[in-house]
Structure 1
Amino acid sequence: MTNPIHEYIEKNRDVYINWLTEFCKIPSVAAQNRGMKESVSYLEQLFNEAFNVDAEVLDTGGQPVVFSHLKGETDTILSFYNHYDVQPEDPIELWNTPPFEPTLVGDRLYARGIADNKGNLIARMAAVHAIKEVVGKLPIDIKFIFEGEEEIGSINLGAFTDKHSEKIHADGCVWEFGYRDAENRLEVSLGVKGLLYVELFAKGANTDLHSAQASIIGSPVWRLVKALNLLKDSQDRILIPGFYDDIIPITEEEIQMIRQYNISEIELLEHLGIDNFINNLTGEELKKKHIFEPTCNICGIQSGYTGEGSKTVLPSEAFAKIDFRLVPGQLPNKILDLLRTYLDAEGFSDIGIRTFGEEIAVRTHPSEIIVKAVIETIEEYTNQPPNVIPNTPGTGPMFELTEKFGIPAVSFGVGNFSSYTHAPNENIRVEDFIDGIKMMASFVFKYGEMMVRRKEEK
C-alpha cells in the first residue's frame, strides 16, 4: 500500500536536501559566536517558506531560541528539540572536504553539523512540511524548539525554560540526536547521562622560566599531574569519596534492555584502530559500563611549549579540562563539592577549579506512549526492531526541557555509525536523511493515534 506522504517526500527530496545543504553552509559555531545571527535568519526564512508562519525568536541572555507552535486537529502536543549551533571545525587540516561547503561523496554528505544536529533539525521540519502539503493539516500540535547554545553547555536554557514554561509544555518530546549502529539498525535512546565539566589549574612562578630553574622552583605541571593521578585508579574506578553513593540502582527492566542492546564490538574496535576496551571488557559487562556507569575523562591538558622542536622552559601555569559523565541520582553540584573536598583533603587546596557546564541525567520509562510509538514506527518502516538503550552515553540538556516538566523524551534520527560527530569529516548518508523524514512523518500520525486511544481508554 503506497503512502502519499512518503511519495511526496521522495518527489521533493532535492528540496529537502537543499534546505539542509544551505543550512550547513552557515558556520554557526556558538563557542566562537560565528554565524549565529545568520542561522537564526535562515531558520526564520525556512519557517516562512515551509509553513507560512513567522517563527518566534526568543531571547535567552545568550543565543536566542527559535520557536514555533503549529496547531493540529487534537489536543496532543509533540515537541521537537534541536540545536542550530555546531562544534568548531578544528582540526581543519584533517577534513577531506571543506567543512562549511556541504559535499556529496558517494552516498554521503559531508559538512560540519550535518549529523549533529542540522540533519535531524531539517528532517523534522521536512516531515511536518510534507504532512501539511499532502493532508492540509496536522493530526496533532507540533512545537519546534531550536536552541543555539547546546554545544557550549546550554548555559542559558534552564533560566529560559523557567521563564517560558508554557511554551515548553508538551505530551512528549523527540530529542535532538539519533544514529544507526554498525549493523545499520536504528538506535532509540530513552535518555542522556548528566555532566560536570571543569577545568583544574595550577599556578607556579609569575612568569615562565628557563628550565634550569627547575632545580629550585616548583613546577605547576607536575603539581597538576599529581592531582590528576588522584582521580582514578588503574581499573578506571573513580576515587573521589562519595562519588558513587547517590547512584540510583538499575532495575531488572533496564538490565533486560541492556541484554537486548547491541554493541558491534569487533566493528567498533576496527573502526577506531584499537585492540581492546577498558579492562578488556566484552559482552554484557561492557554494555553495563558504557550505559550505566559514570566517567571521569581528561578532555585536554595545556601548559608550556608544545610546538615543533625544543624549548627548555619551566611553565608558570598548567590547565586540564575534565568532563564527568553522570548517571541518574548524581547531581553535578554535589559532585563538584566532593571533588573540591577531596583535593583539599589530599593536600591540593592550591589546585583551582573552574566550572564550564552542568547537566542532570535523565531516563524515560520504556512504558511511555511516545517510546512505544517510536518503536512501532521503526519496526513497520524497516521490518526490524530498533536497537533500544536506556540512555545514550552522551549528554544534553534533556532535564531542563523534559523531566523538569514531566515530559517523556525519546531520540532517533538520521546519523550513522561513522558520522564522526564533533570530529573531522562529519557526515550522514543521503538515504538515511530521506528515510528519517519519512519515518518522522509516520511517527507523528502513530503518536497522535496512540494518544487518542489512551485518552479514550481513560
Structure 2
Amino acid sequence: MKGFLEEAKALLAELIALPTVSAEGRALREGAEKVAEVLRGLGLSASLHEGYGPPVVYAEGGVGERALLFYNHYDVQPPDPLDLWETDPFTLVERDGAWYGRGAHDDKGELVARVVALRLFREKHGFLPRVKFVVEGEEEVGSPHLADYVADKRDLLQAEAILWEAGGVDAKGRPYLYAGLKGIVALELRVRTAAFDLHSSYGAVVENPIYRLSLALASLRDEEGRVLIPGFYDRVRPLTPLEVEVLASIPDESEALKEAFGVRDFLGGARDLEFHQRLYAEPCVNINGVHSGYGGPGSKTVLPAEAVAKLDFRLVPDQDPEEIPGLLKAHLEARGLHDVEVVVLEKGERPARSDLAHPFVALAKAALEEAFGEKAVLYPNMAGSGPMHPFLHHLKAPAVGLGVGYPGSRVHSPGEHIRIRDFERGTLAILRLLERFFGV
C-alpha cells in the first residue's frame, strides 16, 4: 500500500489536464474516454453510453453477491477569472501540502480517491469487489439528462448502496458524511420598460426597470430569509425524530464558518441547532446577480431599458422544482408585478434524502471514524444540490457521500485544491468502507 499518493497525483494530473468544461462543451468526449480507460485499468468493463448529452461512462466488474455503485462526474466549472489563479488551472501543481487545479476536488480528485481505494483493496485482498460506476459529464450544468438515463438503465444500475461523489472534513477538521442533497431550480426575472436605453431625464415620466425588479426581489423573502411566496412551504416534508436527533448532534460550526467566510453574522443570528436546521433542512431563495444599466467608472446619466436578476431556489423533500416557477409567477402577479417575466434557466433537480436508519449509513460512518481516528459528523443532507434523487427513486438504494475535500478547497473558484493529508485519509476511509461493505 506504500506509495499510493504518487500514483494518485500522477493520475489526477492526467485528468486535470483535460479541460472538461461542460458549460462550454469543452473536451467532454476526451474526458469520458479517459475515465473509461482508467476504469478499464482497474479490471472493470467500461463503455460510453450515448444519447444522454455528453457520454455517460458506465463500468462494472469484480466478484461478490452485493454491488456498490459509485457516482461521480468528469466535467468541471469554467476556470474564470483566470487572473486569480497563481498557476495554469489545467496543470496540477503541488504547493504547501496541497494539489491545485480545476477539478482537484470537484470532482476529479474524488474520482481518483475511489480508483486508488479499489486498487489498494485488490492489492490487500487479492480480488476486486463487485462495483459499478456512473460517471457523467453534465453535473456542473444541472445534469439535465441524468434522470432519464437512470430511469432507462435502472436494471443495469441495480446495487445495494451508492457512494456519492464528494465529502471531506468540516471547518474544524472533523470528518463528515451526508445522506442527501437539496433540490434546486434556477430562474431569471426580467423587466423591460423601453425599446432602448433612454436619457435619464426621462426618469420623470418613464418607469425604471431596476425599480420594478427591486420591488419583485424585495418581495421574495423577509429579513431573516424566510420565503414569502404563498404555497412555497406546502410540500415540505416534516423531519422525522431521527433526522431531528441527527441535526441536534452536529457540532456547532457557525462561528468557524463565519470566520472562514468573512461574514459579520448569519441571517437571524442563527446558531447551533437553528443554524443547522436552516442550512440543511429548510429551503431558501438566493439572488445570484442583478444586471442592468451602467456600472463603469464615473457617471453615465442613463435610464436602462431592461433589468435582469438571476435566482436559485434550494429545495428540501418533498418540494417539486417544476412547481416553483408557477408559484413565483402567481406571487408576482398578486403584487401587481405583471411586467416581471419569470424564465426558467435549466431543468431543476429534486431534493433527495436517504433513510438515516439504513445500515449502510452506520457502516459508512464507522468506516470514516476508523480511518480518521475520531468521531465523524453525519448530515441528513448537504446544503448544496446534485442529481441524487433519480438514483434513490429508481434504484431504491441508500446513498452516502464522503470524500477528500475541506471548506477551503475553493470549489468552483480560482485556486481550487485539496490538501494531500485529507486525500490520504479520505482514500483510506473509502478502502475501509469497501472492506466493511464486502465483509473482508
Q: Tell me, yes or no, if the aligned pair for 1:60 and 1:157 is still in contact at 8 Å.
A: no
Secondary structure at the residue paired with 1:300?
A: strand
Paired position in structure 2 for 1:57: 48
Greater shift, 384-393 or 125-134, is seen at: 125-134
Of 432, 436, 439, which aligns to 1:442?
Answer: 432
Greater shift, 190-199 or 159-168, is seen at: 159-168
In the TM superposition, residue 20 of structure 1 has moved relative to its aligned partner by: 0.7
Q: Tell me, yes or no, if the aligned pair for 1:188 and 1:388 is still in contact at 8 Å.
A: yes
Secondary structure at the residue paired with 1:76?
A: strand
Q: Tell me, yes or no, if the aligned pair for 2:319 and 2:350 is still in contact at 8 Å.
A: yes
Letter in 2 for 1:361: P
Letter in 1 for 2:234: D
**Counterparts of 2:73 and 2:266, CA distance in 1:** 32
Secondary structure at the residue paired with 1:75?
A: strand
Query: Judging changes above 3 Å, is the alpha-carbon distance between structure 1 residues 339 and 11 closer, same or farther for their aligned structure 2 residues?
Result: same
In the TM superposition, residue 204 of structure 1 has moved relative to its aligned partner by: 2.0
Paired position in structure 2 for 1:4: none
Paired position in structure 1 for 2:259: 270
Paired position in structure 1 for 2:412: 422
Of 50, 65, 70, which aligns to 2:61?
Answer: 70
Q: Tell me, yes or no, if the aligned pair for 1:40 and 1:66 is still in contact at 8 Å.
A: yes
Greater shift, 407-416 or 40-49, is seen at: 40-49
**Counterparts of 1:367 and 1:420, CA distance in 2:** 32
Q: Tell me, yes or no, if the aligned pair for 1:369 and 1:447 is still in contact at 8 Å.
A: no
Structure 2 regions of 5+ residues with no counterpart? none
- Runs of 4+ in structure 1 deviating by more than 6 angstroms, as ranges, are none
In the TM superposition, residue 309 of structure 1 has moved relative to its aligned partner by: 3.4
Deviations 1:110-165 (A, max 9, x none): 111211111111111121123234433223x2001001101101011111112211
Secondary structure at the residue paired with 1:240?
A: coil
Letter in 2 for 1:156: H
**Counterparts of 1:300 and 1:360, CA distance in 2:** 23
Secondary structure at the residue paired with 1:415?
A: coil
Paired position in structure 2 for 1:20: 12
In the TM superposition, residue 360 of structure 1 has moved relative to its aligned partner by: 1.2
Greater shift, 399-408 or 126-135, is seen at: 126-135
Q: Tell me, yes or no, if the aligned pair for 2:36 and 2:59 is still in contact at 8 Å.
A: no
**Counterparts of 2:374 and 2:168, CA distance in 1:** 15
Of 72, 77, 94, which aligns to 1:87?
Answer: 77
Of 23, 31, 34, which aligns to 1:31?
Answer: 23
Letter in 1 for 2:412: H
Paired position in structure 2 for 1:454: none
2:103 pairs with 1:124: no
TM-score calculated relative to the size of structure 2: 0.95
Matches within 5 A, 1:161-176: 161-176=150-165
Of 36, 39, 47, which aligns to 1:44?
Answer: 36
2:236 pairs with 1:244: no
Deviations 1:399-443 (A, max 9, x none): 012233211100100001211112221110112212222221221
2:347 pairs with 1:357: yes
**Counterparts of 1:129 and 1:368, CA distance in 2:** 27
Across the two proteins, how many residue pairs are aligned to each other?
439
Query: Judging changes above 3 Å, is the alpha-carbon distance between structure 1 residues 365 and 424 closer, same or farther for their aligned structure 2 residues?
Result: same
2:180 pairs with 1:180: no
Paired position in structure 1 for 2:312: 323
Greater shift, 171-180 or 97-106, is seen at: 97-106
In the TM superposition, residue 250 of structure 1 has moved relative to its aligned partner by: 1.2
Of 288, 293, 310, which aligns to 1:304?
Answer: 293
**Counterparts of 2:284 and 2:291, CA distance in 1:** 21
Q: Tell me, yes or no, if the aligned pair for 2:317 and 2:352 is still in contact at 8 Å.
A: yes
**Counterparts of 1:48 and 1:404, CA distance in 2:** 27
In the TM superposition, residue 323 of structure 1 has moved relative to its aligned partner by: 0.7
**Counterparts of 2:415 and 2:226, CA distance in 1:** 33
> Could you say what the CA RMSD is over the residues aligned between the two structures, in angstroms?
1.7
Deviations 1:276-327 (A, max 9, x none): 1111121221121111111100011112222333333222222111111111
Deviations 1:189-210 (A, max 9, x none): 0111111211111112122222
Letter in 2 for 1:17: K
Secondary structure at the residue paired with 2:42?
A: helix
In the TM superposition, residue 188 of structure 1 has moved relative to its aligned partner by: 0.7
Q: Tell me, yes or no, if the aligned pair for 2:229 and 2:331 is still in contact at 8 Å.
A: yes
Secondary structure at the residue paired with 1:393?
A: strand
Matches within 5 A, 1:187-266: 187-266=176-255
**Counterparts of 1:448 and 1:135, CA distance in 2:** 11
Matches within 5 A, 1:368-383: 368-383=358-373
Secondary structure at the residue paired with 1:436?
A: helix
In the TM superposition, residue 167 of structure 1 has moved relative to its aligned partner by: 2.4
Query: Judging changes above 3 Å, is the alpha-carbon distance between structure 1 residues 206 and 413 closer, same or farther for their aligned structure 2 residues?
Result: same
**Counterparts of 2:281 and 2:314, CA distance in 1:** 10
Matches within 5 A, 1:153-164: 153-164=142-153
Letter in 1 for 2:314: R
Q: Tell me, yes or no, if the aligned pair for 1:198 and 1:357 is still in contact at 8 Å.
A: no
In the TM superposition, residue 81 of structure 1 has moved relative to its aligned partner by: 0.3
